[in-house]
Amino acid sequence: MTLQDEKRLARKAATAQRISASLEAGPEAAHKVAENLLGTVPLRNAAAVSGFLPIGSEIDTRPLLSRFLEKGIDICLPVVLGKDRPLVFRRWREGDPMVEEAFGTQAPAPEAPEIEPDLLLVPMLAFDRTGYRLGYGGGFYDRTLARLRTVKPVQAVGVAFAGQEMAYVPHDDLDQPLDWIVTEREAIRIKAVGSPHLRLVDPT
């Protein structure tokens, strides 16, 4: 079986798993994620944070984005420019004009200024404790992180439901590991691939 076959099968299972995790965790999970991230992940004087507006059963990052805005941190959202290209990010505020994007997402209108984030909130279908995530197959975040990490220090923080965890996410050298994974239960710091340091925030 090829790696792509493994990923395809994993995505099918992870999609169903995320739906179940979303129903089990409920809407309060979004607020717990915000508390866990802000109480654990060092912001390192981040001037800009990239978020995402949830689609399907993705966890809702809007409570967290509101908290960043309260701290005076700029928020930007990803924009797809084309297949096989990295994402760009446009500044966003609640109520700003939006345009329809690929995959059912929305993005700030073209007149919104482009900014480069210092910290990225990364969506996913699943994650494992070595920092690898299972995305949707487009490779957009992997290309984007690969580019940004050659330009400046950035932090990639995966946000997900705890029930999205897998024992192992199939990956190769093109897959960019995350620096942190934050769920409604805990924040996981990825010190090195294969050697995560776990801080348990909510043991229940």
Domain holding 37, by residue range, is: 3-200
Q: Is 62 annotated as a binding residue?
A: no
Nearest CA among 180, 155, 158 for reference residue 73: 155
CA angle, 99 then 118 then 161, to 5° = 70
Q: Is 132 annotated as a binding residue?
A: no
Name the pTM for this structure: 0.92
Domain CATH for 196: 3.40.50.10420
Q: Is 138 annotated as a binding residue?
A: yes
Q: Is 9 annotated as a binding residue?
A: yes
- Mention every residue, 6+ apart, whose C-beta is less than 8 A from residue 26: none
| CA pair distance 110, 132, nearest whole angstrom | 32
Pure H helices in the chain = 3-25, 28-40, 62-70, 140-151
Helix (H, G, I), strand (E, B) or coil at 133: strand
* Total structural domains within the chain: 1
pLDDT tens track, the chain, 204 positions? 899 999 999 999 999 999 999 999 999 999 999 999 999 999 988 999 999 999 999 999 999 999 999 999 999 999 999 888 999 999 999 889 999 887 778 999 999 999 999 999 999 999 999 999 999 999 999 999 999 999 999 999 999 999 999 999 999 999 999 999 999 999 999 975 444 444 444 444
